[in-house]
Structure 1
Amino acid sequence: MPAYARRRAYARLVLRITDARTGEPVDATPARRGLTRVQAHTRGSDPTHLRVLLVADLLVRALELGGTPVWALLTGEGRQAELRAAGAALGVRPFEDGGDTGAGLGEAQVLHVVGEGGATPDGVRVAVAPVLWEAPGAPGDADPAALRMALLARPRSATLRIGPATLDEAGATLDRWRRAVADWAGRPSRPVPDPVRADLRTAWEDDLDTAGVLGVLRAVETDPDLADGARFETYAYADRLLGLDLTRDLGAPA
């Protein structure tokens, strides 16, 4: 049965995120409509802190997709230029320097994204588990798109081991999907089916479950009852969160 066959109710979904201080889920969107600050806290440019920056980027994307204005900040120490460059290669959009934010701009909500055990000021603490790098060479030597795909494939609360096989599998899946999306783009357009859209949104609104989003895309890829035009629109829609550049090969020679 396709992952999206559960047909959840889609009305008024709200992004909920686990606060590491309490272990309880909280609304990432403020009760009163207003600015949300997403602040990434890093202590270097290693793979774990690159994952912290990526999770912050995903939070910004998810909030903006829900219509929430966001102020994205990076506060860190040690090799910040390297971290920003590695993040840019991964498709992370620019974050402002959060070194001296003070009281901010009267934001209605503050979400602090930090590695496990990291301390933050008051506000919701979004903890990110470590990355154990087991691939040859430095992370900067890996294909950035494959690395982003690998980082998205596991819940942020789970320690992630990245070795050669992990990167190869992620790269192969990404290549296959990009070719498929380019092919589907040439078929008659169809809207994203309502149950598929509901499952995509339910996954990312549930503690930013990118692994669940990828699972829906795998089901869509092989469902014989879906038109190719609907597959294309589904992948393009999900990529607004995932940032995998799935439509990159549109118009490229076969």
Structure 2
Amino acid sequence: MLRIADTATGRLVEIPTGNRHLLRICVHLPVIDTGIGTAHLRAPLVGDVLARTAELHGLQALTVLTTPKLPPGQAHALDRVMAALGIHPPATVEAHEVTGSPGAPADVHLFAHGSETDAVEGVRIVVGSVSRALPDETGLDGSAALEDRDEEGAEEGADPLALRMLLLGQSYSSPVTVTRAGLAEARRALRHWRQQVADWAQEPSRPIPADLLRQAHAALADDLGVPAVLDMLVSLERDVDVPAGAKFETFAHLDRVLGLDLAREVGHQHRAMP
């Protein structure tokens, strides 16, 4: 059973209702005169995690994205930035007017913090606010999107998924402040986990620990408890009693929801030199 908290009532609601196996999700981007930045991308990210969780639990998910009418350049930039964050493309994208209907019928509607939610029917989720202690480099003007740097300011290989990991580390309803130090820490953690997964992949495969799998799926099904899943992976990595092959299978399986590309380095260490 997949449940999520309706912002309007504060109650956990089972979705989808009845015996249907299709979860319809509508993600709303508001009309913002200054452009769409990191704060607004959190709603599509949460929608992506919800869709991935539904699919992990045997449901089919269909996502619709509604946006204000954007110039072609900004629309293409929005597509690129969402792809960089690992957000699966929506089934359809619909433009809406300021005074128009804010989206298609859906089981769950996701809104950026501060958005108007009264004009829809279904479960309403307002994601927590996102503030930045550094310039927002996700602007949809064709500039370098989602670029992160180290604490000293020297540019390294950009990894937009560091922002995804930072945002996933907090409950979707909690406010998040994006700092340069936070992005650097997320980037280091991703680099470390990817190397660990690559190392574990060289060992014989072992089954995912049943208790951990059950706990992880239960956490995800109970209001998208992604932070709890991340904590489980931290503990699993340090558990010397779990075989490397089981750690690999667990990280690979849960990355279907996390979307952090944790298997990126698998096999790279054995590439033949030219």
Q: Give me the TM-score of the superposition, normalised by structure 2.
A: 0.81
State yes or no: 1:115 paired with 2:112.
yes
Question: Which stretch has the larger CA shift, 38-47 or 151-160?
Answer: 38-47
Contact 2:109/2:125 (<8 A) preserved? yes
Alpha-carbon distance in structure 1 between the residues aligned to 2:61 and 2:95: 17
Structure 1 residue 37 displacement after superposition: 1.1
Residue matched to 2:80: 85
Structure 1 residue 149 displacement after superposition: 0.8
Structure 1: 5+ residue stretches without partners = 1-13
Alpha-carbon distance in structure 1 between the residues aligned to 2:196 and 2:88: 26
Residue matched to 1:35: 22
Which of 76, 89, 94 is the equivalent residue of 1:94? 89
Cα deviation 1:67-125 (Å, max 9, x = unaligned) = 21221110011544433221111111111113489996xx8x61001123423311100
Given residue 149 of structure 1, which amino acid in structure 2 is its aligned partner? M
Residue matched to 1:174: 190
C-alpha RMSD over aligned residues: 2.0
Contact 2:130/2:177 (<8 A) preserved? yes
Question: Which stretch has the larger CA shift, 137-146 or 178-187?
Answer: 137-146
Given residue 116 of structure 1, which amino acid in structure 2 is its aligned partner? H
Structure 1 residue 206 displacement after superposition: 1.4
Residue matched to 2:133: 134
Residue matched to 1:10: none
Whichever of the two has the greater Rg, that structure is 2
SS in 1 for 2:107: strand
Contact 1:181/1:235 (<8 A) preserved? yes
SS in 2 for 1:146: helix
1:1-12 equivalence runs, <5 A = none
Structure 1 residue 188 displacement after superposition: 1.2
SS in 2 for 1:92: coil
State yes or no: 1:125 paired with 2:121.
no
1:180-219 equivalence runs, <5 A = 180-219=196-235
Segments of 4+ moved more than 4 angstroms: 100-104
Alpha-carbon distance in structure 2 between the residues aligned to 1:27 and 1:233: 29
SS in 2 for 1:125: strand
Contact 2:66/2:102 (<8 A) preserved? no
Structure 1 residue 137 displacement after superposition: 5.5
Structure 2: 5+ residue stretches without partners = 139-144, 149-158
Alpha-carbon distance in structure 1 between the residues aligned to 2:229 and 2:14: 19
SS in 2 for 1:16: strand
SS in 2 for 1:86: helix
Q: Give me the TM-score of the superposition, normalised by structure 1.
A: 0.88
Structure 1 residue 28 displacement after superposition: 2.0
Structure 1 residue 238 displacement after superposition: 0.6
Which of 65, 76, 91 is the equivalent residue of 2:56? 65
